[in-house]
Amino acid sequence: MKHVLKYIALATVVVAAASSCEKFLDRPAKDSYNAQNFYQDEQQCIQGVNYLYNSPWYDFIRGFYRVGECFSGNYYMGDSPYLQFVLNGSNDELRDMSSSLWAVNAHSTTVYNRLKEAQGVNQATVDMCMGEALTWKAFAYFFLVRSFGDVPIIHDMSALIGDNSYNDVYKAPKADVYNYIVMLLDEAMKLLPKKVANKDGRIDYYAAEALLAKVYLQKAGVSGTLNQEDLDKAAAYAKDVIENSGRVLMENYSDIFRMQNNKNIECLISWHWDASAQPWTAQNSFQSDLGMNGFDEFGDVWGQWNGPSIALQDQFGVSALDSPDSRSDTDTRRKATMMLAGDVYDYFWTTNGGFDYLRFFYDPDYGPSGTTNASDGAMNSPTGAACVKFLYGDGEDHKAALGVSAGRMAYGLSTHILRLADIYLVYCEAKLHGPGSSTSDALALQCYNDVRNRAIPGTYSEKTVITFDEVFKERNLELALEGDRWYDYVRVGYYNPDYCVADIQAQRRNAYNGGLDDLYFAYYESGTWGDVSAITYDSEKAIPSANAIKTYLGAMPFPSEDVVYNPHLNEDAQPFDLSTIAF
């Protein structure tokens, strides 16, 4: 036996020595593609850009909502520093937001550079994919500059790593960042196909052009006074999108936000999530933060202590204290934006015959997808209202619309971040000249009236002149809770911060002092609306100071960690030489 073992050992040695060492050690990962053998055909090019529509954006979800909607006063979120203007650079959501936006920039750049090297693939497809990558890069920068003001321009990370200069960059002034975004979009539009009446959910020429129009409008006042040239360009690009893209407003406002219409004729740019959460970050998770506890059957909803603000209710001319039986409520967007007592939604909980806001709290036999009630048995929203936009419903709704099940914090509802109605109002604003101005431009009137006609079908009387105040308010009614409102204030704040201060200080940003749940429960049980005189608005909390508002309008605190690496980030921005940018 001993001898046998010896020979086995000897034999193995001989075999091992015979095979070459280099071959033995060459073990690249083989269970997936690698960057060298990818981007070889049209399908791979498209697959290589698809993820820019979801995963890198995932960690932005919370900041997107807090910046866009809490700062602007549309969404009540308790002691959130975003609501109270006490945000610091160490805030978790702010840091995640910054990481996510910079990751989008890095990924878009990487994809763009790889595609540039793609050989032997249909050039039109490669161009399309490169154009999509550049548009996403531009959109990430658009969020960055509107949120943080001056930020570094990182055109290509690999160049900075190559020459070891990644810690030497300076912040670039806002105006330069806007011009850089314009360059990105100009280049993207050269590459992207003009798809008329596009409904495939991908970015095309008109989507990039629509973003460009919005960028021009945003940058028009960045110097401190409105630049007519920028306004004209915004109007011209918007006009081209409105007239030639083949996109139209969807007939029914609330349909825009349904999963069945993840890809629709009104949308220009959207995040397209996947419910599988493969990997984590591939999915939409908005409902978990925004919905009421127990709204779906996955035990993953915790937003009941927050809700659409009283300020937003005021904008719509409704109140959580009004009886649903006598509420004057002509604007259909109100119900598609926020739930109030008495509301029933036919598109949520479809297998339950629809979602009834009050029954959800008080009927023990009423639960998502036909399960038992998992609400807290009480209406906890401090403003009386609950969010509607960005909610998908329950598991059965998800299956019916997308054919696959939702999961915990994972659903496939697309998030539309640029849509035609926005561009309609961009055009209107571009035809105006800041607060106090008005216009009778025919197309502006048509855009404004189209938006309102859809919102208030049948009863709306068309305008023949529109003022800045009307357009500014209309943007909020149309786009409320879609993550955009704060940037309206930022835009106007560039050249007229006092207008924003007055508007924000007049908002009712706080909550009611309690009593709503008793009112609603009594109404649900008896059908009579009780006395609301004892339900008071919390007026004790301070109104944000003008200084605070102006500070955040200028720029949110840039997440502070990076100063460790790059002390220049604490210094003033330095003009960026845009002629060094090459594509």
> Smallest distance, Å, CB 163 to other proteins?
10
Q: Would you say 316 or 366 has its CB closer to other proteins?
A: 366
Q: CA-CA distance, 505 to 43, in Å (whole number)?
A: 52
Q: Would you say 168 or 498 has its CB closer to other proteins?
A: 168
Residues 283/413, Cβ–Cβ less than 8 Å: no
Q: Which of residues 30-59 bind other proteins (CB under 8 A)?
A: 30-36, 38, 44, 46-51, 53-59
Q: Is the peptide bond before 279 cis (omega within 30 degrees of 0)?
A: yes
Confirm or reject binding of residue 551 to other proteins (CB under 8 A): yes
Confirm or reject binding of residue 347 to other proteins (CB under 8 A): no
Confirm or reject binding of residue 5 to other proteins (CB under 8 A): yes
Confirm or reject binding of residue 559 to other proteins (CB under 8 A): yes
Sole window of 205-213, 361-369, 448-456, 464-472 interacting with other proteins (rule: CB under 8 A)? 361-369
Binding other proteins by CB under 8 A: which of 25, 326, 459, 579?
25
The interface mask with other proteins, positions 168-187, x = CB under 8 A, is xx------------------
Q: Which of residues 257-286 bind other proteins (CB under 8 A)?
A: 262, 271-282
> Smallest distance, Å, CB 52 to other proteins?
8
Cα dihedral across residues 205, 211, 215, 218: positive or negative: positive
Q: Which two tokens stand for residue 375?
A: 């609400």
Q: Would you say 436 or 567 has its CB closer to other proteins?
A: 567
Binding other proteins by CB under 8 A: which of 27, 120, 458, 461?
27
Compute the CA torsion angle 470, 474, 304, 379 (nearest 10 deg). Answer: 70
Confirm or reject binding of residue 502 to other proteins (CB under 8 A): no
Confirm or reject binding of residue 256 to other proteins (CB under 8 A): no
Please state the length of the chain: 583
List alpha helices for 432-567, DSSP H: 442-455, 468-479, 485-495, 497-505, 516-526, 546-554
Confirm or reject binding of residue 544 to other proteins (CB under 8 A): yes
Q: Would you say 498 or 561 has its CB closer to other proteins?
A: 561
Q: Which two tokens stand for residue 388?
A: 């509607």
Q: Would you say 140 or 226 has its CB closer to other proteins?
A: 140
Confirm or reject binding of residue 404 to other proteins (CB under 8 A): yes
Q: Which of residues 192-211 bind other proteins (CB under 8 A)?
A: 201-202
> Smallest distance, Å, CB 115 to other proteins?
12
**Nearest by Cα to 87 from 559, 582, 571, 580:** 559
Residues 451/428, Cβ–Cβ less than 8 Å: no
Confirm or reject binding of residue 165 to other proteins (CB under 8 A): yes
DSSP one-letter code for 411: B
Q: CA-CA distance, 65 to 505, in Å (whole number)?
A: 20
DSSP one-letter code for 69: I
Binding other proteins by CB under 8 A: which of 170, 302, 460, 521?
521
Residues 356/382, Cβ–Cβ less than 8 Å: no
Say whether 569 sits in a helix, a strand or coil: helix
Compute the CA torsion angle 423, 427, 432, 434 (nearest 10 deg). Answer: 30
Q: Which of residues 405-434 bind other proteins (CB under 8 A)?
A: 405, 407, 412, 414
Q: Which of residues 78-137 bind other proteins (CB under 8 A)?
A: 79, 81, 84-90, 92, 95-96, 98-100, 102-107, 109-111, 114
Amino acid at 162: G
Binding other proteins by CB under 8 A: which of 21, 461, 464, 526?
21
> Smallest distance, Å, CB 98 to other proteins?
6
| Total of chain residues touching other proteins, rule CB under 8 A | 142
**Nearest by Cα to 209 from 242, 232, 165:** 242
Confirm or reject binding of residue 400 to other proteins (CB under 8 A): no
Taking each helix axis as running N to C, give the angle between helix 205-219 and helix 420-431, from 0 to 180 degrees, rounded to the nearest 10.
40
Q: Which two tokens stand for residue 511?
A: 């909550």
Confirm or reject binding of residue 367 to other proteins (CB under 8 A): yes
Confirm or reject binding of residue 461 to other proteins (CB under 8 A): no
Q: Which two tokens stand for residue 398?
A: 């998800």
Q: CA-CA distance, 415 to 472, in Å (whole number)?
A: 23
**Nearest by Cα to 153 from 118, 178, 189:** 178
Confirm or reject binding of residue 297 to other proteins (CB under 8 A): yes
Q: Would you say 4 or 442 has its CB closer to other proteins?
A: 4
Q: Would you say 89 or 317 has its CB closer to other proteins?
A: 89
Q: Would you say 25 or 442 has its CB closer to other proteins?
A: 25
Element (H, E) at 339: strand 338-339
Confirm or reject binding of residue 301 to other proteins (CB under 8 A): no
